[in-house]
A and B are shown apart, each in its own frame.
Chain A
Amino acid sequence: MAVGLVFLATLPFHANPYLLFVGNLAMLYIVLTVGLNLLIGYTGMLAFQNAALFGVGAYGCAVLRVTLGLPYWLSLPAGGLIAMIVGVLVALPALRLTGLYLALATVAFAQFTLWVFLHWYSVTGGPAGIQMHPVDFGVLASTAEYGLYYLTMAIMLAVVALTWNLVRSRIGRAFVAIRESEVAAEALAIDLTRYKTIAYAISALYAGVAGGLFAAMLGIVVPESYDLFQVIAQFAMVVVGGIGSVWGAVIGAVGLIWVQEALRAFKEFQEIAFGGMILLTVLFLRGGAMSLIKRHIKGWDEPLRRIPRKR
Chain B
Amino acid sequence: MSKLVTRNLSMTFGGLVALDGVDLDVPEGEIRGVIGPNGAGKTTLLNAITGVNQPTDGEVLLDGEVISGLKASRIAARGLARTFQTSQLFAGMTVLENVMTGLHARMGTSPLAAAFGLPSVWREEEDATEKAMSALDFVGMQQFADRDGGELSFGQQRVVEIARALVREPRVLLLDEPAVGLSMTRVSELDALLRRIREERGVTIVMIEHVIRLVMGVCDRITVLSSGRKIAEGTADEVTQNPEVIEAYLGRELDA
Q: Is the CB of B72 within 8 A of A305?
A: no
When each residue 158-177 of chain B gets 1 if its CB lies under 8 Å from chain A and 0 otherwise, what string results?
00000010001000000000
- Shortest C-beta distance, A138 to chain B (Å), equals 29
Cβ distance A206 to chain B, nearest Cβ, rounded Å: 12
Whether a CB of chain A sits under 8 angstroms from the CB of B117 is yes
Q: A174-B104, A188-B101, A188-B168 are in contact. Are A169 and B125 (CB under 8 A)?
A: yes
Near B by CB (< 8 A), chain A positions 193-251 give 198, 202, 244
Decide yes or no whether B82 CB sits under 8 A from chain A.
yes
**Nearest CB of B to A241, in Å:** 16
Q: CB-CB < 8 A to A202: which residues of B?
A: 111
Known: A170-B109, A188-B102, A192-B73. A183 touches B88 (CB 8 A): yes
For the complex, count residues of B whose C-beta is within 8 A of A.
44
Contact check, A305 vs B52: say whether CB atoms are below 8 A apart: no
Q: State the interface size on chain A (CB cutoff 8 A).
A: 36
> Please, how many angstroms separate the alpha-carbon atoms of A244 and B72 in the complex?
26
Q: Is the CB of B77 within 8 A of A179?
A: no
Q: In the complex, what distance in Å separates the CA atom of A172 from the CA atom of B90?
A: 13
Tell me if A20 counts as interface (CB < 8 A to partner B).
no
With both chains docked as a complex, state the minimum distance between the C-beta of A153 and any C-beta of chain B, in angstroms: 19
Given contacts A188-B168, A306-B121, contact A166 B97 (CB under 8 A): no
B93 at interface by CB-CB < 8 Å: yes
Question: With contacts A169-B121, A169-B125, A170-B114 known, is A188 near B164, CB below 8 A?
Answer: yes
Whether A189 lies near B76 (C-beta < 8 A) is yes
Q: What's the least CB distance linking A280 to chain B, in Å?
A: 22
B81: which A residues are within 8 A, CB to CB?
Answer: 187
Q: Which residues of B contact A192 (CB under 8 A)?
A: 73
CA gap between A179 and B90 in the complex, in Å:
9
The CA of A165 and the CA of B73, in the complex, are separated in Å by 25
